[in-house]
Structure 1
């Protein structure tokens, strides 16, 4: 039976703005308060989806969330009509309004952790929505994320969904941004690689001193248990706390894996040699040949990696066994990074080609190509059981492009977030989107 890795990209929402909400994310903070272009952001993301589809890769779409999140503001004490809630929040606590308007759900690498059926005890694909409790603006996402994923992967024979972990610091979970899977073939048993920034209960593990470590070891272990993963099919590794303090807020900013290959920076992990040996040994037991590509700090510094998002790239397998790297334009603009990539692809190694995409609107808010997609390994039976409305096709691309052109603003500043009309625009757009994607009622305004 054939198997695939399907990339489900997040569709950028109508309230895409530069609120500077993510402490520890250098791009998010450095571009704070600039005017954004939601329409351009959404079209850039759709263009990437269409291009990968045209290259022969399986591609899907994950819907954005309702913003501003008026319900979240009500829980914080703002009352009245929806318009009055927004007006009061803008007047009394503008940072809370900005947080409630965040379009950060576009980075669906944080939506959930996904384990394919070949790895799980019950032979189903398992999803655990990430609690994202390190940041308020992201912690409000998981209820809608769970409903959207449930509408996309509804067949209980093939798919199992778990609620987010307890929303406390000890179980901080950032989803697939700190999770990678290695395998010989997508439909075969593999090794799931969980990367954590700190331990909540074991002080033997060092922690960063400047920026928060968002993923805990305990959260990763809990997800592995929920998914029914075998001990011999799991490897845990700690992210280097020094690189977290340099702006590497998720592992996918410093490493990316696919198939049997890990592409990583020399300074990405602690106890790197031990971790590589464990990955190699465990993958060999299921017939795989683990390989790694280490980028030396002498060629690309951590600062270069953070500014260019070299590792927040998509590493994709091509039919001939070689790999393609999807990178943002910022890699081409960085002299050292681009020189390294030219050397890498001309060396005849595993990664043979690099394709560059303009994702400036997302990049300026701290998310690159890998942030924008959630990877789901599916066999052909499971793929047939996915809601067909969310699988990218040429007609769907046309419909979504027209939808964006119809509903999205081409400029959004902080003061615009206080406009109650923006909420109405967002709800109108999302109501139409659920019909396009055949999701049913997944948003609070459709349910309540």
Structure 2
């Protein structure tokens, strides 16, 4: 819905209206004088042509002043809302770009006054300067990092550090061979410009042509992953030439290209990530991301939980980890209401979340019967473990 005109402050409207009335009166006086009006030549009663032009101009200014004033204030309000959606860095960089663009156009276009009449060339000059200011604002806003990096230190401003996630990303061989980058991209975490240097492409081709079946499989997988990424929406996969021909190793070439292009290195290779970070390059270590997102517990871990309620199946108890993950404790019904030290036997991860199966730490493994004191355990039948809950699916626990 468009804002109503009555919402515009009346004081500002009346102030602008007065200015427009004064302008209209002055314009009317000038027109009356230009039409040959004489001071001693009355046209309408005691008013001569000059005064009549001033009165008509003031009347038109008063009539149109309210509409024009409201339109101007609403345009200012729209500009304020547009600026509120921009960050401070964008506004500052855009302002610098606008000033630079206007100054450049003014320097180039001032000879127009030497070509034609100044009154005729002035509107064209103002138009060109305004267009240059608008163009400079947009360029400065879009290139705010470069503008602030150039002007900021001279003006005493602290240049903000760019996040590696906003930089172009250079893929290394380990990312292509691993293949999990496709799931990361489809989750929306690595979209944008992905650069593949020619040395990486050559290394994958050499692996795909290798006589070793394992290396050949990895190379073909890497090439397939790049082909899949090329067709993913939101991803621009670009092959770039070898920009560091003087460096022999592929890893060294990647680090050199990252430094020259101010790009981030996307890798699964922990050692390469450390070397690149020491060299001053931006690094996005996917292996570190995978470690950060691993389950809070793994098979064999011992954790202390509070068994809050009995499970659906006989003998089961239900507990929860700190992050809300459900823990099904086999033989934990008798422990309801108290703490228990349990050992994780399996972790089930689905699209809807994660479920942990465990047993009391002092209990024998499920599926084993206690043998003689000095004899080995005799394997028994594999039990079936059901997920607790009134409507939960039946889940089979793997045997030892």
> Which TM-score applies when normalising by structure 1?
0.19
More helix by share: 2
Larger radius of gyration: 2
